[in-house]
Amino acid sequence: MLLPLRWINDYINIEDIDPVEFANRMTDSGTHIEEIEYRNIKGLVTGKVLTVDEHPDADKLSVTTVDIGGEELTIVCGAPNVEVDQIVPVATVGTVLPGDFEIKKAKVRGVESNGMICSLDELGYSQSVVPAEYREGIYVYSDDIPVGVDGSKALDLDFPILECEITPNRPDCLSMIGLAREVSATFDRDLDLPEEKFGGNDEDISDYFGGIEIETDNCNRFYARVLKDVVIEESPQWLQNRLMEAGIRPINNMVDLTNFVMLEYGQPTHAYDLTDLRDKRIKVYQAGDDEKFTTLDGVERTLSSEDMVIADGQGPIGIAGVMGGLDSEIKDDTTTILLEGASFDKSAVRHTSKRLGLRTEASSRFEKGVDPKLAKTAVDRIATLAEEIGAATLVGGSIDKIVEKREEYPVTVRIDKANQRLGIELSSDKMVKYLDRLGLSPVLEDDIITCTIPTFRPDISIEEDLIEEIGRLYGYNNIEPKPIVGAMTRGKLPKDRIVARKLKDSLRGLGFNELLTYSFISPSLFDKLDLPEDDIRREAVELINPLGEEFSVMRTTMMGNTLDVFAKNQNHNVDSMLAMEIGNIFSKDLTKDNLPTEWERLSIGGYGKDIDFYYLKESIEKSLHTLGIDSIDIRREENNGLFHPGRCGILSINGEDLGIIGEVHPTIMKNFDLKQRVVLGELDFDLIVENYTDEIEYQPLPKYPASDRDLAIIVDKSVLAKDIEQTAIDCSGDLLESFNVFDIYEGSQIPEDKKSIAFRMIFRDHKGTLKDETVNDIIKKIIARLEDDLDAVLRDQ
Amino acid sequence: MKEQIQHVKDSFIEEIEDINTLDKLDKIRVKYLGRSGLMTDVMKGMRDLDPKERPVIGKLSNEVSNFINERIDQTRESIQVKLLEQQLKDEVIDISLDQNRLKMGHDHPLIQTKEELENLFVAMGFSVLDGPEIESVANNFDLLNSPEDHPSRDLSDTFYIDDETLLRTHTSSVQIRAMKEYGAPLRMVSAGRTFRYDAVDATHSPMFHQMEGLVIDENISMANLIHSLDMFIREIFGPDIKTRYRPHHFPFTEPSIEVDVTCFSCHGEGCPSCGGTGWSMELLGAGMVHPKVLENCGIDPEKYSGFAFGMGIDRITMVKYGIDDIRYLFDNDNRFLSQF
């Protein structure tokens, strides 16, 4: 909302307040000033054009002499509309125009020019507020502006314009008078509001207009006046200036007046050409379904029973609170006008405006809420102003249909509660004073203040609302901060967050970067992952209004996200990457709260030199070890389409599946456009949390020496190292301290479907020195078992 | 004999001069002192000597043997010194070389910020709670006193699963869960993913992150809120930062405030990035919990009062690291991630 200080100054004297201080204090009291725009231009003066001659060497330029009050300047001007006797804005030499454009003495095609006659555009006005006639040329002041005075002041630009943020609870502040009330409360200065005049000639409105019927619950009030002998012309300059500085383009006197009063009071009104109103009657009702209507922007709209329309005796002439119709709008030859001031239900207007995709100044104000009292005030103000500027004659009498009157009501606040909530010690007198400055008519009795809430403040309904009013005038920055007094509490992290942080620490040490990917994904990822048609992961929770297919379902697996990240990085020529993310996946299964279930998962993987299945598996095992989880088992998984059938396994903890890890299947790599081989895993983080322990049982260091033995055996390629290890464990009781494979060989020395595995076993007895014979016996047993169970052949030593 | 011994000694002296390896030294030791070495050979002639001469010769031979031994030891030592010198010389490496054998990962900057914030509040006695990303309309809007026709409920603002279920638009829903579950008194924060219907651009993301804080107890006041926020803001942005508390409006707090801090670019002087005001806007929204919200969660608003605050973690992360485009946070470009 634009707040021109010049306009505010019409209602409350603020001339002596520095704009920065003004902005700060208004911000502190609740009107957030986001920007201060200084519009005055030093060196800009009003000048009278004395002569206009053609430029000797340029068709489109003229050479003018301009009287700027005691001095005559020769100025070369390129505007087509420059004429003798005009009063124009002249930027003298040395003036800096908006956009840091400094006026210098210059020769223009050989003719000396001592300044510039300016257009509104050059003076910093946005094209959107410049009246049509000045869009292509210089600005011309009205004739009564004296020569040689401050040109900015003559345009009302001598006060800055503030950009302010109005919160949705204060629609009353979307108006100059609403803001002036806030200024008055903030600075404790008196308001001088326009006198409410009714006016009118001896005739009565009924001579011109038949009446109003309201046949809907969404219209609370409809107030009408009639203007006759209307002369549509350009508005006086003060009116144009007011509109332009508030960001609205002047059109003609009647349109400008309705806009002016809308800005002044916040009440949108509508002016109908009464000649075009059939049967001279108005009816407000809910439209029929599929009823058609052409709004004044020339677009035919299809209405529904949710939309409220204004109709004359024959049919719709406007969509209530949104936009009028083409047929009854004010035209250049309009002579009789019906002014409408109405109060419409905010939700109803919002609904229609949204449904039709039609947002107007009127609808955006109605949907935030307008005080029904203003329907009359605004129309009377327009009508009397129209007479004052000589645009029309006001017909006596009015028609006012009120369905339900909004009444003032009391709200109370306790002194002690206000002080407690704010954490201050303010006297009741001070509180009363603040509330009084806000126009809330406070009355103090027995430490309770009773306020009478005016109709323009429906946001105030409970005690806390009044506490806020007191607080904001006291100033939150004036509240002395106080520590919370109360029982000491111990802050805690939930267990899963402790585990996540520890796990991330370990993985970070192992080189893994942490990812952050979206919770919603494209269902096309399921195809890229080659999930079977009946895979449960295709049953994703869907958004009914996604931003696009890309973000349309909640992920049921994080693997697609992670592979996308790898593909993107490979595409950026990142030659190696390790990455992990702990995040949620979602299932359609409902929780006891009737919400989709969310599970936490660890997605982990990588690609690049040295990053293979074993790197991933070991990283997982080592980092889970730091969480006290050692009992991790793996079994081969050959039938998961996402992974290489020979390089994939399912990890488990104590028999419960933890998740799958493996090298990504070449087909899937192609789907994701992965150039380098990728290893990937998705683990059940909830299971990790469940198995996490920070209890460590200390083992004393060995007192007796160990004995180590190496064996090399030839077995089928399908035999897993863990099967051999299990055999060794089975045969050696608790004497086997460690088992490590140190060489695997496949090749010409051994049969094609076989491999040679060499491993070292370390034996130790914690009760005494192991005898060679004992170890030899164990080795014999192991060899025998390996031969029997795994069809192993001992390699020549 | 004497001459013979002298001769052996002389030839040893001559020979050992050229010895420069341990191998050769060993050979020379064997040649002179070995079981069938030159000294042993010479000593074999002892048997034929006059018994009177034996002690003299014996003494001489001992002296020469000792001499040889000593010289061998000395030579060994000097060879070893030289060898070590040579070894050290040979083993000079290019210490500037990076082999990149080790990998070190990096936490995501946003999650780092989130965890730092959590740590801070844990130290201030707040417990960290989590809530689901998919929420009920009740927890996200209704119980937070959001008006039924509030624009934030529109399909153009909020992602819906169905009429009663949505992607939470703020972490304030966790307040409701916490109050319903634990009642008063309460001191909690909750940080996590939040979602709003915003197309992706440099400053918007349909998924972003918020942190919510809530304190409920007897006699909690605005003064307490301001104290807590001052403490926490100085902790993350440094002791020199200034705060400004502005009246604002939220449906779930009354009174409501927004908090500005001195502009991060100009430190309060006024610059284009702060619109000349010197303030960096809307770091945080806060206020006293609306009595209806307390009532909705079964807490007596006459007995208890509380404050709540919420802030954008994405924004704080971006300010902290000078990141000018929110998309970097969700792009997962390794070159970006590896900087943190």
- Predicted confidence (pLDDT) per residue in A691-721, tens digit: 999 998 888 898 999 999 999 999 999 899 9
Interface touch A516/B305, C-beta < 8 Å: no
For A565-616, the pLDDT digits (tens) are 999 999 999 999 999 999 999 999 999 989 999 999 999 999 999 999 999 9
Q: Do B254 and A465 touch (CB under 8 A)?
A: yes
Residue A491 has its nearest CB partner, among B127, B156, B255, at: B127
Inspect the interface and report whether the beta carbons of B221 and A420 lie closer than 8 Å.
yes
- State yes or no: ipTM above 0.90: no
Which residues of chain B lie closer than 8 angstroms to A545, CB-CB? 155-156, 159-160, 197
**Cα R_g (chain B), whole angstroms:** 43
Q: What are the DSSP E strand ranges found in B104-219?
A: 127-128, 134-136, 160-162, 165-167, 186-195, 207-217
Among A131, A142, A82, A165, smallest CA distance to A250 is for A131
Distance (Å, rounded) from C-alpha B297 to C-alpha A187?
A: 40
| Chain CA centroid to CA A93, Å | 46
Beta strands per DSSP E along chain B: 127-128, 134-136, 160-162, 165-167, 186-195, 207-217, 243-250, 253-262, 279-289, 305-312
CA of A73 to nearest chain B CA: how many angstroms apart? 37
Interface test with chain B among A172, A421, A463, by most B beta carbons within 10 Å: A421
- Taking CA–CA distances from A26, the nearest residue in chain B reads B246
In this predicted model, what pLDDT tens digit does every residue of A482-515 receive, in sequence order? 999 877 778 889 999 999 999 999 999 999 999 9
CA distances from A551 to A586, B180, B204 (A): 14, 32, 15
Q: How far apart are CA A134 and CA A34, in angstroms?
A: 30
Q: Which chain B residues are Cβ-neighbours of A607 within 8 angstroms?
A: none
Span A254-271, average pLDDT: 96
Distance from CA of A541 to the nearest CA of B (A): 7
Q: How far apart are CA B14 and CA B8, in angstroms?
A: 10
With an 8 Å Cβ cutoff, is A589 touching chain B?
Answer: no
pLDDT in tens, B64-106: 889 999 999 999 999 999 999 999 999 999 999 998 888 899 9
Backbone angles phi, psi at A190, to 5 degrees: -75, 150
Q: Which residues of B touch A479 (CB under 8 A)?
A: 222-223, 226, 245
| Cα separation, B120 vs B103, whole angstroms | 30
A590 C-beta neighbours (distance < 10 Å), count: 11
Give yes or no for residue B282 having a pLDDT over 80: no
Taking residue B82's Cβ as centre, other Cβ atoms within 10 Å add up to 12
Task: Note whether A515 contacts B: Cβ–Cβ < 8 A.
Answer: yes
Nearest residue on chain A to B166, judged by CA atoms?
A543
Cβ contacts of B102 on chain A, cutoff 8 Å: 511
Query: What would the two tokens of residue A556 be?
Result: 């049921």
Q: Does A616 touch chain B (CB under 8 A)?
A: no
Q: Does residue A468 belong to the interface with chain B, where contact is any CB pair within 8 Å? A: yes
Q: Cβ A514–B334 below 8 Å, yes or no?
A: no
Is A483 in contact with B224 (Cβ distance < 8 A)? yes
N-term to C-term CA, chain A? 91
- In chain B, whose CA is at the least distance from the CA of A577? B334
Contact call for B155 and A544, based on CB within 8 A? yes
Cα gap B325→B318, rounded to integer Å: 8
Closest CA of chain B from A35, distance in Å:
6
Q: Which residues of chain A neighbour B156 with C-beta distances below 8 Å?
A: 545
The per-residue pLDDT for range A121-166, each reduced to its tens digit, is 898 888 888 888 888 899 999 888 999 999 988 888 888 899 999 9
- In angstroms, the separation between the Cα of residue B91 and the nearest Cα of chain A is 28
**Which residues in chain A have Cβ-Cβ distances shorter than 8 Å to B276?**
35-36
Taking 80 as the threshold, does the pLDDT of residue A626 lie above it? yes
The answer to whether residue A285 scores a pLDDT higher than 70 is yes
Nearest chain B residue to A461, by CA: B254
What are the CA-CA distances from residue A570 to residues A430, A528, A565, A716, B105 (Å)? 68, 17, 9, 37, 18
Evaluate whether B290 touches B251 at the Cβ level (below 8 Å): yes
pLDDT recorded at residue B53: 82
CA distances to A519, B137, B160 from A546, in Å: 12, 17, 8
Q: Please state which of the ranges A53-62, B155-164, B175-184 shows the lowest mean pLDDT.
A: A53-62
Which of the listed ranges A214-228, B8-22, B29-43 does the model predict with the highest average pLDDT?
A214-228
SS3 A68: coil
pLDDT band with cut points at 50, 70 and 90 for residue A765: very high
**Rounded Cα–Cα distance for residues A370 and A219 (Å):** 12
CB pair distance less than 8 Å for B105 and A596: no
pLDDT surpassing 90 at residue A182: yes
Instruction: Tell whether A736 is within 8 A of chain B (Cβ).
Output: no
CB proximity A575 to B under 8 Å: no
> What pLDDT, on a 0 to 100 scale, did the predictor assign at position A512?
97
Of B134, B151, B305, nearest to A595 by CB-CB distance is: B134
List of chain A residues whose C-beta atoms are within 8 Å of the C-beta of residue B220? 484
Would you call B103 and A477 a contact, using CB atoms and an 8 Å cutoff?
no
Å from A558 to nearest chain B CA? 14
A422 has a chain B CB within 8 A of its CB? yes
Q: Which distant-in-sequence residues (6+ apart) come within 8 Å of A643 by Cβ?
A: A637, A660, A662, A663, A664, A665, A668, A680
Average pLDDT over residues B147-154: 88
A182 touches B at CB < 8 Å: no
| CB-CB neighbors (< 8 A) of B222 in chain A | 421-424, 471, 476, 479
Shortest distance, CA A121 to any CA of chain B (angstroms): 22
Q: Would you state the structure tokens that stand for residue B90, as one six-digit string?
A: 């040979």
Instruction: Say whether residue A612 is in contact with chain B using an 8 A CB cutoff.
Output: no
pLDDT at B118 over 60: yes
Q: Give mean pLDDT, residues B121-147.
A: 95
Q: What is the distance in angstroms between the Cα of A339 and the nearest Cα belonging to chain B?
A: 30
**Closest chain B residue to A28, measured at CA:** B246
C-alpha distance from B96 to closest chain A C-alpha (Å) = 22
Chain B's closest residue to A464, CA to CA, is: B254
> Which of the four pLDDT bands, split at 50, 70 and 90, describes residue A329?
confident
Burial class (CB in 10 A: 0-12, 13-18, 19+), A199: middle
Residues of A in contact with B152 (CB under 8 A): none
- The mean pLDDT of A318-323, rounded to a whole number, is 93
Give me B7's structure tokens. 């001769």
Interface test with A, best of B334, B335, B338 (most A CBs within 10 A): B334
The pLDDT confidence band at residue A797, using thresholds 50, 70 and 90, is low
d(C-alpha A573, C-alpha A611), whole Å: 16
B330: closest CA of chain A, how far (Å): 6
Model confidence pLDDT, tens digit, residues B18-68: 888 899 999 999 998 888 888 888 888 878 888 888 888 888 888 888 999
Phi, psi angle pair for A362, to nearest 5°:
-65, -50
Token readout for B37 is 């070495």
Whether A609 has its CB under 8 Å from any CB of chain B: the answer is no
- Nearest-CB residue to B337 (from A481, A513, A518): A513
The residue assigned the tokens 């103000």 is A381
Closest by Cβ to A514, choosing from B111, B121, B161:
B111
Q: Mean pLDDT over all residues of chain B?
A: 91
**Shortest Cα distance, chain A CAs vs residue B196, angstroms:** 10
pLDDT over 70 percentage in chain B: 99
Interface test with B, best of A306, A349, A595 (most B CBs within 10 A): A595
pLDDT given for residue A473 in this prediction: 97
Give me chain A's average pLDDT, please: 93
For A:538-567, CB contacts with B below 8 A are 541-547, 551, 554, 565
For residue A699, the model assigns a pLDDT of: 85
Cα distance from B140 to chain A (closest Cα, Å)?
A: 13
Cβ pair B195:A421 closer than 8 A: no
Q: Which region holds residue B100: left if phi is over 0, alpha if psi is between -120 and 50, else beta?
A: left
CB A216 within 8 A of CB A410: no
Contact B224 A421 (CB under 8 A): no
Contact B132 A347 (CB under 8 A): no
What is the rounded distance in angstroms from the CA atom of residue A633 to the CA atom of residue B277? 62
Range name among A318-327, A668-677, B105-114 with the lowest pLDDT average: A318-327
